[in-house]
């Protein structure tokens, strides 16, 4: 069975989030609440280079985590009080580095945080633990095949004619270049 990068990302996210929450004693660093602890990212998870950076993630209650989307001041204030502006600058520089990560990157992060977190005995933990062990073996045995990216429908339906004009496959109508 093929393993999707997205699946390995989910596993890495789970163990990283668990580690962060355990490190911060399941207490929101912003308001001190222990209700619905989550792993909150200062720079959003869309920045892959700092998605698993321990200085970019802290335990937040669900409310503070959601509020961060609309008001980033409290979280940045917390960070600057705990660390320094220099550290924030470096974190930002790191966040905006764009690289293409492969499945081994996510497997590496998943294994690292699996080993670093305290093992717990609940269904969710055991579910991710089983998946990690299974995929780790599979990838190391070379059983991972890259799944090609789907070509968008737009691209499929357009081609260039002899003069270099873009034409639609269906109906051969002239298509816009843009
Ligand atoms: Zn909170």
- Cα(113)–Cα(21) distance, rounded to whole angstroms? 12
What's the CA angle centered on 33, arms 75 and 122, to 5 degrees? 105
pLDDT digits (tens, 9 = 90+) for 72-115: 999 999 999 999 999 999 999 999 999 888 999 999 999 999 99
> Would you say residue 65 has pLDDT above 70?
yes
- Cα(142)–Cα(57) distance, rounded to whole angstroms? 32
Please tell me the distance between residue 42's alpha carbon and the centre of ligand 1 in angstroms: 14
- Cα(105)–Cα(119) distance, rounded to whole angstroms? 22
Please tell me the distance between residue 29's alpha carbon and the centre of ligand 1 in angstroms: 7
Is the full-model pTM beyond 0.95? no
Please tell me the distance between residue 22's alpha carbon and the centre of ligand 1 in angstroms: 16
Single out the residue of 34, 42, 11, 4 nearest to residue 132, CA to CA: 11
pLDDT digits (tens, 9 = 90+) for 104-160: 999 999 999 999 999 999 999 999 999 999 999 998 887 665 555 555 555 555 555
* Ordered DSSP codes for 110-173: HHHHHHHSPP--SHHHHHHHHHHHHHHHHHHTT---PPPPPPPHHHHTEEE-TTS-EEETTTT-
Please tell me the distance between residue 13's alpha carbon and the centre of ligand 1 in angstroms: 20
């Amino acid at each position: 069975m093929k393993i999707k990068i997205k699946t390995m990302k989910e596993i890495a996210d789970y163990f990283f989030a668990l580690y962060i929450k355990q490190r911060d004693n399941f207490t929101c660093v912003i308001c001190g609440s222990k209700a619905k602890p989550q792993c909150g990212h200062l720079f959003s998870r869309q920045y892959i280079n700092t998605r698993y950076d321990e200085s970019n993630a802290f335990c937040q209650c669900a409310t503070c985590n959601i509020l961060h989307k609309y008001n980033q001041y409290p979280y940045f204030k917390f960070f600057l009080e705990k660390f320094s502006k220099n550290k924030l600058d470096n974190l930002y520089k790191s966040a905006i580095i764009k690289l293409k990560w492969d499945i081994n990157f996510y497997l590496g992060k998943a294994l690292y945080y699996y080993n670093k977190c305290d093992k717990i005995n609940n269904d969710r933990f055991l579910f991710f633990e089983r998946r990690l062990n299974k995929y780790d073996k599979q990838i190391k045995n070379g059983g991972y095949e890259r799944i090609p990216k789907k070509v968008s429908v737009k691209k499929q339906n357009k081609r260039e004619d002899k003069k270099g004009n873009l034409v639609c496959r269906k109906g051969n109508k002239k298509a816009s270049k843009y």
